[in-house]
Amino acid sequence: MIVLDRKGAGVYQGNQLIHAGTPPQYIPELIEQLFSWLKKSKVHPLIKACVFHYEFEFIHPFQDGNGRLGRLWHTLILSKWKEFFAWLPIETLIQKKQQKYYEAINLSNTAGESTPFITFILEIIKETLEELQKNDLKMTDILTDKMTDKELQRLKILEEYFEKNNYIENSEAQKILNVSDSTARRFLNKLLKNGILEAFGEKKGRKYRKK
What ranges make up the beta strands (E) of the chain?
A: 11-13, 16-19, 168-169, 197-200, 207-210
Are 106 and 192 contained in the same domain? Answer: no
| pLDDT tens, position by position, 184-193 | 999 998 888 8
CA dist., res. 112 & res. 58, Å (int)? 10
**DSSP letter at 16?**
E
Q: Residue 151 has what pLDDT? A: 85
Hey, what amino acid is at 164?
K
Are 121 and 190 contained in the same domain? Answer: no
Residue 61 has pLDDT above 80, yes or no: yes
Are 28 and 124 contained in the same domain? Answer: yes
Among candidates 118, 123, 4, 12, which has minimal Cα distance to 55? 4
CA dist., res. 134 & res. 147, Å (int)? 24
Residue 137 has pLDDT above 80, yes or no: no
Element (H, E) at 52: helix 45-59
Q: What is the mean pLDDT of residues 39-68?
A: 92
Domain final residue pick, 134, 167, 201: 134
Q: Residue 182 has what pLDDT? A: 93
Q: Does residue 3 form part of some domain? A: no
| pLDDT tens, position by position, 23-46 | 889 999 999 999 999 999 999 999
- Please report, for the domain that includes residue 168, its CATH number: 1.10.10.10
Are 31 and 124 contained in the same domain? Answer: yes
pTM equals 0.62
Q: Residue 48 has what pLDDT? A: 97
Are 163 and 80 contained in the same domain? Answer: no
Q: Does residue 140 form part of some domain? A: no
Hey, what amino acid is at 82?
K
Which domain covers residue 187, as residue numbers?
146-210
| Residue 137 backbone dihedrals phi, psi, to 5 degrees | -100, 125
CA dist., res. 148 & res. 2, Å (int)? 42
